Amino acid sequence: MTDPRRRIPSVETLLGSEAFEPLVSRWGRTRVASAVRGVQADVREQAAERVAAPVPADGGWYAERVAQRLERLDRPSLRRVVNATGVVLHTNLGRAALAEPARRAVADVAGYASLEYDLETGGRGSRHDHCVDLLRELTGAEAALVVNNNAAAVLLALNTLSLDREVVVSRGELVEIGGSFRLPTILARSGAVLREVGATNRTHPSDYRDALGPRTGLLLKVHRSNFRMEGYTAEVPARELAALGEEAGVPLVHDLGAGALVDLAPWGFPPEPTADVALSDGAAVVTMSGDKLLGGPQAGIVVGGSAWIEPMRRNPLARALRPGKLTLAALEATLRLYRDPGVAEREVPAVRMLVASAAELAGRAERLVARLREAGVAAETAASTSAVGGGAYPTVELPTTVVVVGAEAGRADALARALRRGDPPVAARVRDGRVLLDPRTVAPTDEPVLVAAVAAAAAAVAAVEPGAARAAGLARPVGGEDA
Ligand SMILES: *Cc1c(COP(=O)(O)O)cnc(C)c1O
């Protein structure tokens, strides 16, 4: 028997065939030829894996695959996604969704902008001036600096204030943030020397006091934003640590991580230090992320005394860690919303999503279900929980109402895949063989887009395996609860 792979038509044959004419005229010969080779390779691989797999010989079959492949390759790699996962600060989906004014600000400066240009004098300005006044106003700090992200802020603080000198930090705070940010590693790369004190669960003032000496560069406090310690624990409060530092003449650097600008305690969140509180507790320098609880763009925010921030600004490393104009524009517009906490609560999507009421979410879920049913998709609501994400409030579960699009026998994964492959792609949760859509993280203006995307994905799943569409619960209501 001859090798079935010999049935695969050659590149030349396919390119010369009628089915390929429109493809060649749209994409050009070179790109089509390369896509043909990709499809041929897939067919060969499948034939090698499964001896009985049919090897298509028809030009039309190849033209269809090649067209899909070319479309896929032509799409941008970084695309907008509808986040229906219910994870508000979804790091893999770009963490915080920007507020409308921040989006407009980004578009506004996309051309030329006064990034380092003094509009009064026509002379050179500094990009490091842009968000400073707002940050000072909002946190009460004397000085401020914006860098590329919070990891960069911590790196720059350590390198500037403790090069070749000891950073005294509790063993209970040598954290890993994820995405390969481990405090001991960053600390070593910064050129500072780690001086760990205390035990994993308990650190006392005397532990810090015993470590202070002529080699000390600074005291570091790292907020445990992404995990909780319970049981037999003790830590030294920031205020007491700052006083210890003051006695010894060394600054306290407080890495807040998630860094909220408004206190979410009134909505039932556990207390988190805000930047102004951390400063009034005596920290010389406070660092935090721009795209966690603040709900702005990826950025690292440094606030504190000029005596510490000025040298950070002049450090040559600051050049390597500096933010771009799009970041600064988005951050400035986001910060402006915090001048009135009521406005921030309504207009910063991350804050709005975190404090959304159970009644509002239930109403939105009901509305989505009604629209999905109109579009011919079986769906129903169920009680569930959303997560904050971004390593913030790790133990908090936010009650929500999700939309359940049912599936049996593993078809939920097919539907979730179809949703990811849609336009725009939708990220959803799959749980117990069902696809869950959480309205908390979907902008109300995106609801029609979501409904259309789910209907299209359901149709795509049905088209692949008509029998499976019924199994996927797409043609009848689904039962069961997600608690
Ligand atoms: C998230 C976090 C960081 C890193 O911030 P990025 O903005 O992601 O670089 C650093 N420290 C703490 C405590 C954090 O929670």
What string of DSSP letters covers 62-86?
HHHHHHHHHHHHHS-SS---EE-S-
Q: Please, which residues have CB within 8 angstroms of residue 214's CB and are 6 or more apart in sequence?
A: none
| Ligand 1: residue whose CA is nearest its atom 5 | 150
Rounded Cα distance between 444 and 144, Å, is: 35
Measured in Å, residue 162 CA sits from the centre of ligand 1 at 20
Which atom from ligand 1 is nearest to the alpha carbon of 175?
13
Which atom from ligand 1 is nearest to the alpha carbon of 91?
8
DSSP state of 252: E
Residue 125 is predicted with a pLDDT of 94
- Name the strand (E) or helix (H) holding 229: none
Q: Which among 95, 150, 301 is the best mutation to test ligand 1's pocket, defined by most ligand atoms within 8 Å of the CB?
A: 150
| Ligand 1: residue whose CA is nearest its atom 1 | 257
Indicate left, alpha or beta for 75 from its phi (over 0: left) and psi (-120 to 50: alpha): beta
Tell me the Cα Rg of the chain: 27
Residue 481 is predicted with a pLDDT of 30
Q: Which among 89, 90, 176, 181 is the best mutation to test ligand 1's pocket, defined by most ligand atoms within 8 Å of the CB?
A: 181
Write the pLDDT tens digit of every residue in 244-293.
999 999 999 999 998 889 889 988 898 888 999 999 999 999 999 999 99
Are the C-beta atoms of 430 and 355 separated by less than 8 Å? no
Rounded Cα distance between 259 and 150, Å, is: 10
What string of DSSP letters covers 242-302?
HHHHHHHT-PEEEEEET-BSS--GGGTPPP--BHHHHHHTT-SEEEEESSSTT-SSS-EEE
Q: Which among 190, 289, 292 is the best mutation to test ligand 1's pocket, defined by most ligand atoms within 8 Å of the CB?
A: 289
Rounded Cα distance between 96 and 350, Å, is: 6
Q: What is the number of residues in the chain? A: 483
Report whether residue 257 contacts ligand 1, using a CB cutoff of 6 Å: yes
Q: Which among 255, 286, 291 is the best mutation to test ligand 1's pocket, defined by most ligand atoms within 8 Å of the CB?
A: 255
Which atom from ligand 1 is nearest to the alpha carbon of 152?
9
Report whether residue 255 contacts ligand 1, using a CB cutoff of 6 Å: yes
Are the C-beta atoms of 252 and 238 separated by less than 8 Å? yes
Rounded Cα distance between 61 and 63, Å, is: 6
Pairing of strands 176-178, 181-182: antiparallel
Residue 224 is predicted with a pLDDT of 82
Measured in Å, residue 435 CA sits from the centre of ligand 1 at 31
Which atom from ligand 1 is nearest to the alpha carbon of 224?
13
Rounded Cα distance between 61 and 64, Å, is: 5
Residue 465 is predicted with a pLDDT of 59
Residue type, 213: G
Cα distance from N-terminal residue to C-terminal residue, the chain: 57
If one counts every other C-beta atom within 10 angstroms of the C-beta of residue 466, the result is 9
Are the C-beta atoms of 262 and 248 separated by less than 8 Å? no
Measured in Å, residue 185 CA sits from the centre of ligand 1 at 14
Residue 476 is predicted with a pLDDT of 38
Rounded Cα distance between 75 and 89, Å, is: 25
Pairing of strands 166-170, 216-222: parallel
Report whether residue 83 contacts ligand 1, using a CB cutoff of 6 Å: no
DSSP state of 124: B
Measured in Å, residue 291 CA sits from the centre of ligand 1 at 10
| Ligand 1: residue whose CA is nearest its atom 15 | 257
Q: What angle do CA 260, 266, 272 make, to 5 degrees?
A: 35
Report whether residue 287 contacts ligand 1, using a CB cutoff of 6 Å: no
Closest listed residue to residue 207, CA positions, set 246, 159, 172, 251: 172
Which atom from ligand 1 is nearest to the alpha carbon of 289?
7
Regions of the chain where pLDDT drops below 70: 1-2, 51, 179, 406-410, 465-483
Per-residue tokens: 332: 């400035």
| Ligand 1: residue whose CA is nearest its atom 2 | 257
Beta strands per DSSP E along 238-376: 252-257, 285-289, 300-304
Write the pLDDT tens digit of every residue in 195-236.
999 998 899 999 999 999 999 999 999 998 777 888 888 899
